[in-house]
Amino acid sequence: MKFLGIIPARFASTRFPGKPLADLGGKPMVQRVYEQVRASVDELVVATDDQRIFHAVQRFGGHVVLTSQAHQSGTDRCYEAFLQLNTTFEVVINIQGDEPFIQPAQIELLKNCFSTNDTQIATLVKPFETDAAFEQTLLNPNTPKVVLNNRNEAMYFSRSIIPYVRGEEHAEWLNTHTFYKHIGLYAYRADILKEITALPQSSLEQAERLEQLRWLQNGYKIKAAITHQETIGIDTPDDLEKAKAIYA
């Protein structure tokens, strides 16, 4: 099975405009992500809507395609890039352009989900640490949570705390139940990617602002691979400063 990696990279981020070009240890962030995952996929391409990002990728020797500015999600941008490439890859991996610390082993976990023919979509989840602060983890709406069934398939994603642990103090919840946070890395079979990008927004997606709920609400299954490696997503300039400290 052959895997195509696509890094969606748009310039006009609400919280951090120009984020893919932000300097991280002497290189633009999009280059850091590209170099981190290049060896883990059969082919890798950056899909962007901006000429500045396009030329930056060309300068470091990466593969890049220019896509529409009208896309509402990275999934939509991935599908346009897939069509432009006119390839026969069976699985497309959507690699977040703001995850410069993603590990090759985590890409392998996603790929392994497709060892069975019934996997349509795969993603990563990580157990919350039991000593983590309740307010900064479970209570944080910017950290989506997910509950899994016994087949490690996602049952629901939410910005709220799921599940609710009845009869226990909040301070004990992480010791009482294993909670999973969602790491926004996706892989899709090519035919499924075509189908889900044709779906209209769903009511659950509009409520939570989580695009994966559109797929669940329409009956698609999302396989979850469990990682115990921490990743650091960069959503704001403050996050970038923390990442710079790690590189330093």
CATH number, residue 187: 3.90.550.10
Report CA Rg, the chain.
18
Total-model pTM? 0.93
Per-residue confidence (pLDDT) for residue 53, from 0 to 100:
96
Count how many residues are written for the chain: 248
Per-residue confidence (pLDDT) for residue 15, from 0 to 100:
73
Per-residue confidence (pLDDT) for residue 94, from 0 to 100:
97
| Structural domain boundaries, residue 230 | 3-247
Per-residue confidence (pLDDT) for residue 215, from 0 to 100:
98
Number of domains in the chain: 1
Dihedral pair phi/psi, residue 180, rounded to 5°: -115, 135
Tokens of 202: 């769903």
Q: In degrees to the nearest 10, what's the CA dihedral of 25, 30, 34, 37?
A: 80
Q: What are the average pLDDT values for consecutive 10-residue runs of the chain, which has 248 residues? A: 94 82 92 95 96 96 94 93 92 92 94 96 95 85 94 97 94 93 95 97 96 98 95 81 81
Closest C-alpha among 52, 39, 61 to residue 9: 52
Per-residue confidence (pLDDT) for residue 244, from 0 to 100:
85
- Residue reference for tokens 């990008």: 197
Please calculate the CA angle 238-239-243 and round it to the nearest 5 degrees: 120
